[in-house]
Structure 1
C-alpha cells in the first residue's frame, strides 16, 4: 500500500513541482546567460584580431541597381523543384510523420496496458478506438512543434484530432445508451490534461531551448528531497541515529525534517542531476541526439510517466507501462526517422550554409522570423551567425548551457584570428540523425566580431541580412554592408526590410558604399549588379516561401 501511495501521491506531486519550477528557473538562467553574453560582447580580447586590410578603390563601371522582389507572392519556378527546395519544404513534415509513427506504437502499448491492468472483460472495437485515440494525443504536440508552426496548420491538426475524437465519442454513446455524456470527455481530460499542462510549461517558447534540461535536473533534485525521508522512515535505526545526531547539535524536530529534505536534494542534484546533464551534453556533442529530439523525448517520457500513474491503483508494477511505451516510441520513431532521412535524400545535394546578419535590437521580431526560417533551412544545411542578445537564448545548445553553468562561458568567445580558424575547423557540418543541420553561433568580443563576420561571409552559400529597424544609428550594420559589397557576390546576398527600415538611408548608404568599391571586388565584373531587397509585412507562409526561393536560387 505504501508503494502505491508513493507512486500515486508523492511521484505526481514531485513531477508537478519540478515542472512548475522549470519555467521561472529556466527564465532566470537564460536571463543570466544573456547578460553574460552581452558582457563578453562589450569586452575586448586584446589579442591579434587585426582589422580588415585597406583595399585599393576603383569606381565601378556599372551602376548598382536596387531590386525589390515581390514579397507577398513566391516567384514562379521553371521546371521541377530542386532537391534543396524539396528538403526545405518537405523535411519537417517527414520528420513529423516519423514521430507520429512512434506515437501510434506508444498509444497501442498504453491501450494494451490499460486493458490488461483493469482486466476489462468487455473489450469491443469502439472502446479500443477511444482508448487508442486518447493515448494518441501526445502525438499532436510534436507535429505542432516540428512542422505546423503557423496558426492555420495548427488549427487543422488540432481540429482534425478532436473531430475524430468527438466522432468516436458519439459512436460510443450511441452504442451504450446507459453511458453518461461526461464519462468519456472526463476520462480524456484526466488522462491528457495534466501532462499537457506540464509539457507546455517547460516547452514554452521563451525557455524551450533549455526547458527539458532544467526539468530533468529538477525532477532528480525533487526525488532526492524525499529519498532520505523515505529511507529513514523505512529503517527505524537510521531514523533514531539521524535524530540523535541532530539533537546533539541543538536542532529541533522541524529543523531535522527540513535538513533531511535539503540533504537529499543536494545529494541527488550533485550525484545524479549534474552527471545526467553532463551525459546529455556529451550525447549531443557526439551527435547521438539533437536539440529537437531532446525536447520531444522529454515530452513523451513525461506523458508516459503521468499516464501510467492511474494504472498503479491496479498494481504498482503497472507504473512501467509508460516506460515500456516510451522505449517503444523511441525505437520506432528512430527507425522511421532513418527511413524519412533516406527518403529526403540529404546526399542528393550539397548542404548549403546560410549566414544570418541582423540588427540586434529587433528582439521578438527577430525571434519569430528566425524560428520559422530555421525549420526549413535546417533540412538544407548549416546556419552560422554572430551571437547576439536577440537570438542567443533561442539557439543555445546543451554544451553551451553547461559551459555557462560551469563558469566557463568566457572560453566560448573568439580571441583572435587563429582562434577563429580553430573554431571554424571544428564546426559540425553533418546532419543529425533527424536530418537537420545545426546552427553555429560565434561568440565575439568587441574587437573580434568584424573579422569573424568577414570570414563567415566568405564561406556562406547564401547571406540574409535582416535590416528591419535599420537607421543611421546602426554603425555595425553599415560596416557589414560595406564588407558585403566589397567581398561577396551580391547574387548570394538578400537584404530584408519592413516598414521600420529607413529605406531612404539604406539605399543612399548602398549607393555611397558602391562608389567606394574595392578594385578586387567580385561585383566589379558584374554585368547587372543588384542589391536584392525583400520586404516582409506579415511573416506568413507566402512571404516565407518567397524568401526561401530567393535564398535557394529558385526564383528563375
Structure 2
C-alpha cells in the first residue's frame, strides 16, 4: 500500500489524475480488505500457544521461533516470555522483512524523480537515496529498541490491556495470527507467566537444554501442573535429558496443589516428545500434539 501511495504522488502533482487513479484504486481496495480482515479475524478460533523454555539457548530458540511458529501462526497466536536469544532472532526477522520495503519505496521514488532529469541531477539524487538508506538503517535500531522496551510488562493491568488489544485485532495483514512476546521485570515475570498460563489454549514446555546444571524451568513446571490440565501441556526434551525430565515431572506431580485441575486425575498421561533430529517430521509431530492439546477440555 505504501508503494502504491508513493507512486500516486507524482502523477497528482503533475495533474495527471487518471494515472494517479491507477495506483489509488489498489490503495482503496487494500483499506477495504483491511477492515474486512479485522472483522473476520475476531470470529476466527485463536488457538493460543504459550511457549515456556530454558532461556539463553540460541539453537533451541532458532528451531522454535523460526520454524515452529512459522506454522503455528496459521492456527493461532503464540505467547512467550522473551529473553535475549529470542530477540536476536525476532529482530533479525523483522529487519529482513521491513528494510527491503523501505529500499523499494526509495528506489521507486528515485526512478520517478530521475525520469526526465539530466545525468548530473541523477547523480545528486542517487547520493540522496544512498544517504537516506544509511540514515534509515541507523534510525531503525533505536526504533526497534524502543519497540522492544514497550514490550516490558509493568503490571498485571498492563499485560491484560495488551491481551485485550490482541483479542480485538488478532490477525496480521497476511491473514496469520499475531505473536505476543513479552519481557518482564524481576518483580513481574511471575505475574506474566500466571496470566499467560490461564490465557493459553495449550502450553509447550520446551525443556531442550534442561540438565542438572540448568534447571531454570522447575518453577514453570510446578506452576503449569498446578493450574493447567495435563492434557493441554506438551513437554519437549532432548534424548540425553529424558530421564531427568521424567523424574522432574514425577516429583512435581507428587507435590500437586489441592486446587490443581490434575489433583484428582488417577491415570495421568502427560505428552512428552523427545526431539532428536529436529527435522520436518518431528516438527509435524509437535504441531499435531499441540493442536490436539489445544482442543482438549
Deviation, structure 1 residue 381 = 1.2
Indicate whether 1:498 and 2:193 are aligned: no
Indicate whether 1:479 and 2:219 are aligned: yes
Q: Give the aligned partner of residue 542 of structure 1.
A: 281
In structure 2, distance between residues paired with 1:499 and 1:490: 21
Q: Give the aligned partner of residue 58 of structure 2.
A: 363
Q: TM-score, normalised by structure 1?
A: 0.36
Indicate whether 1:459 and 2:199 are aligned: yes
Gaps of 5+ in 2: 7-19, 99-139
Asked if structure 2 preserves the Cα contact closer than 8 Å seen for 1:494 and 1:533, the reply is yes
Return the structure number with greater relative CO, CA threshold 8 A, min gap 6.
Answer: 1
Asked if structure 2 preserves the Cα contact closer than 8 Å seen for 1:369 and 1:539, the reply is no
In structure 1, distance between residues paired with 2:146 and 2:41: 38
Indicate whether 1:470 and 2:210 are aligned: yes
Deviation, structure 1 residue 527 = 4.2
Q: Give the aligned partner of residue 232 of structure 1.
A: none
1:437 to 157, 169, 177: 177
- CA deviations on 1:206-255 (whole Å, 9 max, x unpaired) are xxxxxxxxxxxxxxxxxxxxxxxxxxxxxxxxxxxxxxxxxxxxxxxxxx
Q: Give the aligned partner of residue 391 of structure 1.
A: 86
Deviation, structure 1 residue 402 = 6.7
CA 1:370–1:490 in structure 2 vs 1: closer, same or farther (change >3 Å)? Answer: same
Considering fraction of residues, name the structure with more helix: 1
Q: TM-score, normalised by structure 2?
A: 0.65
Gaps of 5+ in 1: 1-287, 290-296, 302-323
- CA deviations on 1:344-383 (whole Å, 9 max, x unpaired) are x977751111111111232123213331112211111111
Asked if structure 1 preserves the Cα contact closer than 8 Å seen for 2:56 and 2:83, the reply is no
In structure 1, distance between residues paired with 2:248 and 2:60: 24
CA 1:525–1:368 in structure 2 vs 1: closer, same or farther (change >3 Å)? Answer: same
Deviation, structure 1 residue 481 = 0.3
In structure 2, distance between residues paired with 1:348 and 1:531: 31
- CA RMSD across the alignment: 3.8
In structure 1, distance between residues paired with 2:55 and 2:244: 18
Asked if structure 1 preserves the Cα contact closer than 8 Å seen for 2:237 and 2:245, the reply is no
CA 1:374–1:331 in structure 2 vs 1: closer, same or farther (change >3 Å)? Answer: farther
Deviation, structure 1 residue 474 = 3.2
Q: How many residues align?
A: 229
CA 1:388–1:405 in structure 2 vs 1: closer, same or farther (change >3 Å)? Answer: closer
Deviation, structure 1 residue 390 = 1.5
Secondary structure of the residue that 2:56 maps to in structure 1? helix
Asked if structure 2 preserves the Cα contact closer than 8 Å seen for 1:485 and 1:517, the reply is yes
